Amino acid sequence: KAGVTQTPRYLIKTRGQQVTLSCSPISGHRSVSWYQQTPGQGLQFLFEYFSETQRNKGNFPGRFSGRQFSNSRSEMNVSTLELGDSALYLCASSLTRTEETQYFGPGTRLLVL
Amino acid sequence: KNQVEQSPQSLIILEGKNCTLQCNYTVSPFSNLRWYKQDTGRGPVSLTIMTFSENTKSNGRYTATLDADTKQSSLHITASQLSDSASYICVVGGNAGGTSYGKLTFGQGTILTVHP
C-alpha cells in the first residue's frame, strides 16, 4: 500500500509569488491535515479536510488556503509569499476523523527568497 | 494558552543504553497524547497514542507513560539502537468537533543522538 505522497518535494520561490502544494493520501483515507514545520516554531497545524470540507483551521493568515477533492487528494495554496513562509510543509492522512493514527508524508520543503 | 514542553532539548547516549524523554503539557480540554519519531528529512511517524484513561502504552522498545493528573508524559527507549537517532515530538490533542486533529499542540521535540 502506497504511503502519503507530496509533490513537489522541494520548491524555491520569491517573495510575493504564490505556491500550490499537493498531497495524495493513503488509498481509502478521507481525512487530510496540513502542518507547517520550522526550526523556530516547530510543527504547527494549518488545516484539516474531510469529505471535501475544511473542518478545522489553525492560526494562520488568510494567505494560506486549501481544498480537498472528491478522491481525497488535497492541495494547499500560499499567496503573496513572505520570507517567513520558508518551511517544511507536511501532509498527514487518516481513515476518519476519530482518534486514529495519522500517517505523514515526506513533506515539501519551501524556500522563499 | 495551550503549551507542550519537552525536555531535554537534546540528548546523546551510547548504543545499548536506555533513556527517558519528558513531556509536560497544559492543554485543555485534553483528548489524547501522542509521541512521534521524526527522522531527518522525513515526516513524523506515530509511536504511541494514549487517551485520558491510559497510563502506559508500548510499541516495541518504546514505552510511553501518561499521568493525566500531573499532566506529564514520558517516553522510555530501551536498549537504544543507532536507528533511534531522531527527533521525538510530543503532541497533545484537544477536542474540536469530534476530532482532536484540529486542536493539536506540538512540543518542540527532543533530538536524540545514539553513538556506537
Across the interface, whether the CB atoms of B99 and A102 are under 8 A apart is answered: no
Q: Which residues of B touch A106 (CB under 8 A)?
A: 41-43
Q: Which of A31, A33, A104 sits opposite B45 (nearest CB)?
A: A104
One-letter amino acid for residue B90 of the chain: C
Cβ-defined contact of B46 to A43 (cutoff 8 Å): no
Reported confidence tier of residue B105, pLDDT bands at 50, 70, 90: confident
Q: Is the distance from CB of B115 to CB of B10 less than 8 angstroms? A: no
DSSP letter, residue A26: P
**Torsions phi, psi of B103, nearest 5?**
-130, 45
- Hey, are the CB atoms on B43 and A105 less than 8 Å from each other? yes
pLDDT on residue B23: 98
Q: Does A103 touch chain B (CB under 8 A)?
A: yes
Q: Are strands A10-13 and A108-112 parallel, antiparallel or unpaired?
A: parallel
Measure the CA–CA gap between A72 and B11, rounded to whole angstroms.
Answer: 39
Check A45 against B102: CB less than 8 A apart.
yes
The pLDDT value given to residue A99: 53
Inform me whether the pLDDT recorded for B96 exceeds 70. no
* Cell matching residue B78: 530501551
Task: Give residue-wise pLDDT tens across range B13-66.
Answer: 999 999 999 999 998 888 889 999 999 888 999 999 898 888 999 999 999 999
Q: What is the structure's pLDDT at A98? A: 63
Residue with cell 551510547: B14
Peptide bond connecting A25 to the previous residue in cis, omega within 30 degrees of 0 = no
Identify all chain B residues contacting A44, using CB atoms and an 8 Å cutoff: 106
Say which of A44, A101, A103 has its CB closest to residue B106: A44
CA-based nearest distance A104→chain B, Å = 5
Residue stretches of chain A with pLDDT short of 50: none
How many percent of chain B have pLDDT more than 70?
Answer: 92
Q: Taking CB atoms and an 8 Å limit, are A43 and B44 in contact across chains?
A: yes
Q: What Rg do the C-alpha atoms of chain A give, in angstroms?
A: 13
pLDDT at B101: 54
Return the residue in B33, B99, B106 with the most chain A beta carbons within 10 A, the one to mutate for interface testing.
Answer: B99
pLDDT at A105: 94
pLDDT over 60 at B100, yes or no: no
Interface check for A60 against chain B (CB to CB < 8 A): the answer is: no
Model confidence at B67: pLDDT above 80: yes
pLDDT at B38: 95
Set of chain A residues whose Cβ sits within 8 Å of the Cβ of B91:
43
Distance from CA of B14 to the nearest CA of A (A): 26
C-alpha distances (whole Å) from A74 to each of A26, A45, A108, B46 are: 12, 15, 13, 21
- Counting Cβ atoms within 10 Å, is residue B47 exposed (0-12), middle (13-18) or buried (19+)? buried
Averaged confidence pLDDT in chain B: 90
Three-state SS at B27: coil
